Amino acid sequence: MLGAARRQLGSGPMLGQVLRRLRPATAAAAEAARAYSAAAKEMTVREALNSALDEEMSADPSVFLMGEEVGEYQGAYKISKGLLDKYGPDRVLDTPITEAGFTGIAVGAAYQGLRPVVEFMTFNFSMQAIDHIINSAAKSNYMSAGQISVPIVFRGPNGAAAGVGAQHSQCYAAWYAHVPGLKVLAPYSAEDARGLLKAAIRDPDPVVFLENELLYGESFPISAEVLDSSFALPIGKAKIEREGKDVTITAYSKMVGYALQAAEMLSKEGISAEVINLRSIRPLDRATINASVRKTNRLVTIEESFPQHGIGAEICMSVVEESFEYLDAPVERIAGADVPMPYAANLERMAVPQVDDIVRAAKRACYRAVPMAATA
């Protein structure tokens, strides 16, 4: 495991000593032309993640990437394309299929001041390493009275893809957002992916970074500001993707796109929907959500994950606690079906929220449709 480290271990030094000797990026690498210029108009989420990793590794020699197939194969989803050639095997580390092993090594490296980025081929596999993520990474700063920082990023695809069955389709947003000591981010667009990943790598605390496989190839408009190497988005701040006055729709990751489609459909029927891209699941931007609800007086929450104890439930409670008197209708919550993900394509589609589900919920909130109970 860890090619360069293995060679060193054979002659004596322990792994921690080897990792502390990670070589800084050469001047040539630091000055190499970046793949995306200010003239670029669009960028895929895959390109955004790759460029963020590249720039942060170039800027800080303590940043390194490790995971299954991140090096020679350039990543299962090609997020790490070109990084092995540029930074070498000491900083782009291919690991065996042993999440518990390499995640523990990465947490130990973070204890020693390095900044590991751990890639899980899918967040479903993070279950093998959950003890290191929660008991070691998330709690060490508190248990050491602030003496130990754990600057580490756990990233990879999260949630449903297509036809991969129940064990490879779970959304872990609510799982990890439950844990004090973790920050949990869920990007939607290329701007989100680039700005949030940079912020996550620079952060002194452990960050769970939940990507979506189906978004990797999606292209989004991107500005010159976002392409600047110093750009980063604030953790804990949501983005209003579309302003509206009749109903607030909250979503994260892939569901943001669905919410925007629903808002467009609703506009044709005279309903003005405000769409909030949460971006950050923990910390949650309660202020932006409540300010929007106080304006629109209605709320629809959307998430792919299971409904019980979900992100939508937390948002609903926040609004009840802070803005209950502003509500003119019951909160509508849309989530995945409360069953393991079916394998059959037709059943899989029924188990995941669709645009029409959002439209119907928004209409109910605006009293523009027959309530569900009346049609039962």
Q: What pLDDT, in 10s, does the model give residues 59-78?
A: 999 999 999 999 999 999 99
Task: Give 189-206 pLDDT, tens digit per residue.
Answer: 999 999 999 999 999 999
- Tell me the pTM: 0.86
Q: Is the pLDDT of residue 93 over 50?
A: yes
Beta pairing class for 183-185 and 207-211: parallel
In angstroms, the CA 24 to CA 248 distance is 47
Cβ–Cβ < 8 Å for 227, 236: no
* pLDDT tens figures, 251-279: 999 999 999 999 999 999 999 999 999 99
- 55-82 burial, b at 16+ Cβ within 10 Å, e below that, comes to bbbbeebbbbbbbbbbbeebbbbebbbe
C-beta neighbour count of 206 within 10 angstroms: 30
Q: Which residue in the block uniquely carries the two structure tokens 């439950």? A: 178
User: Cβ distance 174 to 311 under 8 Å?
Assistant: yes
Match 């869920």 to its residue by tokens: 186
pLDDT at residue 151, as a whole number: 98
371's tokens: 């309530």
- CATH 3.40.50.970 boundaries in the chain: 42-227
pLDDT tens digit string along 112-161? 999 999 999 999 999 999 999 999 999 999 999 999 999 999 999 999 88
pLDDT attached to residue 15: 42
Instruction: Give 283-307 pLDDT, tens digit per residue.
Output: 999 999 999 999 999 999 999 999 9
Selecting among 99, 213, 218, 332, the annotated active-site residue is 99
- Give yes or no: 168 in active site: yes
> Using CA atoms, how far apart are residues 85 and 179, in angstroms rounded to an integer?
37
Which DSSP letter does residue 137 get? Answer: I
Question: What CA–CA distances, in Å, run from 239 to 10, 134, 152, 173?
Answer: 51, 28, 25, 18
Catalytic residue status for 322: no
Fold of 42-227: Rossmann fold (3.40.50)
Per-residue confidence (pLDDT) for residue 1, from 0 to 100:
38
In the chain, what percentage of residues exceed pLDDT 90?
A: 84
One of 3.40.630.30, 3.40.50.920, 3.30.420.80, 3.30.1490.100 is the CATH number of 239-366, namely 3.40.50.920
Residues in CB range of 216: below 8 A, 6 or more apart: 44, 45, 46, 49, 77, 79, 157
Cα separation, 72 vs 80, in Å, equals 10
Spatial separation of the C-alpha atoms in residues 191 and 279, rounded to whole Å:
11
Of the candidates 69, 168, 264, 322, the residue annotated as catalytic is 168
Predicted local confidence at residue 3, as pLDDT: 43
What integer pLDDT is reported at residue 161 of this predicted model?
A: 87
Residue range(s) of every CATH 3.40.50.920 domain in the chain: 239-366
